[in-house]
Amino acid sequence: MNRTLPKIAAALGALALASTLTACGGAADSSTVKKVDPQWKKYTFTIGEQSDGIVELAKESGAFDSASYKIKYAKFEYGPPLVQAAASGDIDLGSVGAVPPITGAAKTLGFRIVAIQTPTDPDRALENILVPKGSPIKTLADLKGKRIAIPQGSSAHGLALNAIQSVGLTPKDVKFVFLPPADGQSAFAAGKVDAWAIWDPQSSLAVSQGARVIAKGVPPLDYGSQFYVASKKTLDDPVKRKALADVLKRLATAYGYAHKNPDKHVEALVKETGLDPKVIEKNIAAWSFKIGAVTPAQAKGEQKLADNFLDAGEITTKVDVDQVIDNVLPAGFGAS
């Protein structure tokens, strides 16, 4: 799923990194990685992030303190530009929602899915479909003929598609208005659209200002999980590939720290987004994740979503998800 700062503005086609790269040192605790390969010292990994708190959490948890390689972060407003950056080799790794890998693969971009990030509580929605305060829209069926702001190719795009289909509507029955998150926020606030499919923290912020949720981003309407995508260039180097697995294990350490210390996760999100802690605190449980290898069942779920996008005309090329997956973590990692 695509997590972002509400005030970041970036065009859909922007392939440049969306912020200054921020460097930090090393790796996780001894329980995560027993050996450090001396060959890794020559590497600097650039991780694409979407203001989910990981930059601060990695520092706070010490997840990279012992790594021999270096880490940089590149900020993105949402998933599709991040996938394009991975494909071009501008970043080595980054997590996105379930849809960006589908739309990226449909464009035959050169990236691979290397891991999955699953919510610890799948019943907590991290994205929703909202309507403004005072809107006459009460149900999803009421969206017929209405304008819905959506970041194109994002996880929210998938939520919106599944949601309208759940009440017998198709994309032809509504008007999808494709806008990056910041532009969607402005359009929603100005009343230029009737609904908005968006994730946190924007969703929680809008609700705190009077917006109403008409569909929650939980199964079966929403896939829920996120995928880590990586550069094929990185994966084609066998030594760097092993180091990339180490990076993911250390990121898992950081998210594990956040799960055990939700107050620290709130602090990290507040620092990265500038939002009121009260807005973040109400839904902090939805930000808790585990990282693992993609299972056959999870790949099947992603394939179902890809097929739905094709059938609905949201993409024009069939995507074979199995051809895009290249797990770098061992089977069962993160399952407990």
| Contact assessment for residue 176 and residue 148, using Cβ atoms and an 8 Å cutoff | yes
Residue 255 lies in a domain: yes
Query: Does 238 sit behind a cis peptide bond, omega within 30 degrees of 0 on the bond before it?
Result: no
Q: Is residue 331 part of a domain?
A: no
- Low-confidence stretches of the chain (pLDDT < 50) are 1-34
Domain end, chosen from 216, 245, 275, is at 216
The pLDDT, as a whole number, for residue 9 is 33
pLDDT of residue 301: 95
pLDDT value at residue 299 = 97
Q: State pLDDT tens for residues 90-147.
A: 999 999 999 999 999 999 889 999 999 999 998 999 999 999 999 999 999 999 999 9
Query: Who contacts 195 (Cβ-Cβ below 8 Å, separation ≥6)?
Result: 129, 130, 131, 135, 137, 143, 146, 147, 148, 149, 214
Q: How much is the pTM?
A: 0.87
What is the structure's pLDDT at 335? 66
CATH of residue 264's domain is 3.40.190.10
Q: Are 231 and 316 part of one and the same domain?
A: yes
| Pair 58, 72 in one domain | yes
Q: Specify whether 152 is located in the same domain as 204.
A: yes
- Domain, as residue range, for 149: 127-216
Q: Residue 38's pLDDT is what?
A: 84
Asked whether residue 270 falls in the same domain as residue 299, the answer is yes
**Same-domain check for residues 154 and 106:** no
Instruction: Report the C-alpha gap between 154 and 180 in whole angstroms.
Output: 9
The last residue of one of the domains, among 216, 249, 279, is 216
Q: Are residues 314 and 279 in the same domain?
A: yes
Tokens representing 181?
A: 């998150």
In angstroms, what CA-CA distances link 107 with 84, 94, 101, 306? 10, 18, 10, 13
Instruction: Assess whether 117 and 138 both reside in one domain.
Output: no
Q: Residues 117, 238: one domain?
A: yes
Regarding whether 236 and 316 lie in a shared domain, the answer is: yes
d(C-alpha 95, C-alpha 78), whole Å:
10
Query: What is the total count of domains within the chain?
Result: 2
Nearest to 62 by CA among 36, 118, 24: 24
In terms of domains, do 44 and 181 share one? Answer: no
Q: Do residues 109 and 243 both lie within one domain?
A: yes
Q: What's phi and psi for 279, nearest 5 deg? A: -70, -40
- Give the tens place of pLDDT for each residue, 295-306: 999 999 999 999
Q: Is residue 69 part of a domain?
A: yes
Residues 176/151, Cβ–Cβ less than 8 Å = no
Q: Do 201 and 57 share a structural domain?
A: no
